[in-house]
Chain A
Amino acid sequence: DGGITQSPKYLFRKEGQNVTLSCEQNLNHDAMYWYRQDPGQGLRLIYYSQIVNDFQKGDIAEGYSVSREKKESFPLTVTSAQKNPTAFYLCASSTSGGRSTGELFFGEGSRLTVL
């Protein structure tokens, strides 16, 4: 089945540690995104990538890094520089360019807790 797979679903991290969240899609979508959700808030864009080997900062990129070496994969690293990393992280993908309807397809999310 086509879709987006995020792993791990739950992750615990000690303060000062970097952690990488995986996101893989087999929808043949060009564009991929990382969002963060906090209680009582909407989804906020961390990074996005329109094409392989290119990515752009979103609204809250500080303390995060990404790579896009393959079309199918868009891993997110939460670094120790991120001041408040405990959150629910969502990866998404979409078609891009003239075919885009603005609709995003989301993974099931990864919940990161910093101890």
Chain B
Amino acid sequence: DQQVKQNSPSLSVQEGRISILNCDYTNSMFDYFLWYKKYPAEGPTFLISISSIKDKNEDGRFTVFLNKSAKHLSLHIVPSQPGDSAVYFCAVSTSGSARQLTFGSGTQLTVLP
């Protein structure tokens, strides 16, 4: 049974608009949440993270929102740019431990010029 779900395999957005990527998790013990971005034939790169003591973290065009009661995590990108086109993975862990990261299946974001 998947502990982390990204229910949208793909998302297309017009350049300049907002991209919203969603992630749901099942275990309330998870307390650290990360987003990674991956281009084809490359390794993922860390994008942004949030701990369970916060409900929002912002870094430039990227904002992550955490709704603990709903066990839901989202990544907002605004404004979206064509270079943002990539696969986005959410990952969750307990106690911020990298060895306990569990990844979602990813969402392919395509930003149309």
CB neighbours (8 Å) of A91 from chain B are: 43
Give residues of chain A (1-54) contacting chain B, Cβ–Cβ below 8 Å: 4, 6, 9, 31, 33, 35, 40-45, 48, 50
Range of interface residues on A (Cβ < 8 Å) = 20 to 34
Evaluate whether A31 and B98 lie within 8 angstroms (CB atoms) in the complex, with A41-B105, A42-B104 already known: yes
Output the least CB separation between A64 and chain B (Å).
16
Evaluate whether A42 and B98 lie within 8 angstroms (CB atoms) in the complex, with A90-B43, A102-B93, A109-B42 already known: no
- A43–B97 CB distance below 8 A: no
Evaluate whether A101 and B96 lie within 8 angstroms (CB atoms) in the complex, with A40-B105, A43-B103 already known: yes
Interface string of B99-113 (1 = CB under 8 A from A): 101111110000000
Output the least CB separation between A32 and chain B (Å).
10
CB neighbours (8 Å) of A41 from chain B are: 105
Number of chain B residues close to chain A: CB under 8 A: 26
Interface string of B18-44 (1 = CB under 8 A from A): 000000000000001010100001111
Q: What are 8 A-B residue pairs whose CB atoms fall within 8 Å in the complex?
A: A33-B99, A35-B103, A42-B103, A44-B103, A94-B98, A101-B32, A102-B32, A104-B46
Q: A: which residues have CB within 8 A of B?
A: 4, 6, 9, 31, 33, 35, 40-45, 48, 50, 56, 90-92, 94, 96, 100-109, 111
